[in-house]
Amino acid sequence: MPESEEKQEPEQKISKIPDPEEKNKPMTVRLIDGKWANHVNRELIIGYCNYKLHPGALTEALLKSHACMQKKCPYLKRLQDRKFWKDRQDKQEHKKNIRQAKQVQEQLSQDLLAEARRLALTYHVAPEIEIMQVTFDAERNFYKIFYISDKPWDDHCNYLDFLHAYCYMKSAGAEIRHIRDMNGNYVTRADRKCYQK
């Protein structure tokens, strides 16, 4: 190789710097229904369908009308950076949290009811009353025990020993109430059997 011939450095490829405004520019796309749409906001295109019979872009409306999610379509390609998918995931997580909180609350109610009924057996009031519900106010640290009995009047004074024992057991305040119906009448066990027929 001649000395005068200089070694040439390999040409370096310079990647294009992404334009931060690119994602805000409108676009022209072929939609899944075969129509072409001009000047479409890129954020409205939330995915693409790669099915050969109707390939194209998907908007939220088209996604719902074609039931892509319900069908669990394998040809659906999501654009995960779109706000639609993030909002959808947030809603699903919110619903899941509500369901879990409801399950925890239902389990707590069942546990409180079983606990109160066991104590009623200990204090020999179980044959006289039927405890229907126990609620708990965490802010006040206060329980409410709802029951029915064979008496068509407010007979809660007969069960104050049981109530005091419950307060001691829970280290909290509590009250016991005879359940009333919509007309203000105290519900008896006989009434409940009539309602169940």
Q: What is the pTM of this model?
A: 0.58
Residue at 13 is within a domain = no
Residue at 183 is within a domain = yes
Whole-number pLDDT of residue 24: 63
d(Cα 176, Cα 178) in Å, to the nearest integer?
7
Identify the H or E element spanning 176: strand 173-178
Domain total in the chain: 2
Whole-number pLDDT of residue 23: 60
d(Cα 158, Cα 60) in Å, to the nearest integer?
63
d(Cα 180, Cα 70) in Å, to the nearest integer?
46
Whole-number pLDDT of residue 127: 87
Residue at 119 is within a domain = yes
Whole-number pLDDT of residue 13: 42
Do 100 and 66 fall into the same domain? Answer: no
Whole-number pLDDT of residue 89: 92
Do 44 and 121 fall into the same domain? Answer: no
Whole-number pLDDT of residue 31: 87
Residue at 16 is within a domain = no
Residue at 9 is within a domain = no
Residue at 19 is within a domain = no
Q: What range does the domain containing 70 cover?
A: 26-83
Using the Cα atoms of residue 183, residue 185, residue 187 and residue 191 in order, give the sign of their dihedral: negative
Q: Please, what are the averages of pLDDT over each run of 10 residues along the chain (197 residues)?
A: 51 42 71 83 89 89 90 91 92 93 89 94 89 94 95 93 95 95 92 65
Do 40 and 75 fall into the same domain? Answer: yes
Residue at 131 is within a domain = yes
| Domain CATH code at residue 131 | 3.30.300
Whole-number pLDDT of residue 40: 81
Per DSSP, what are the bridge partners of residue 180?
186
Tell me which of 55, 83, 111 is where a domain ends: 83
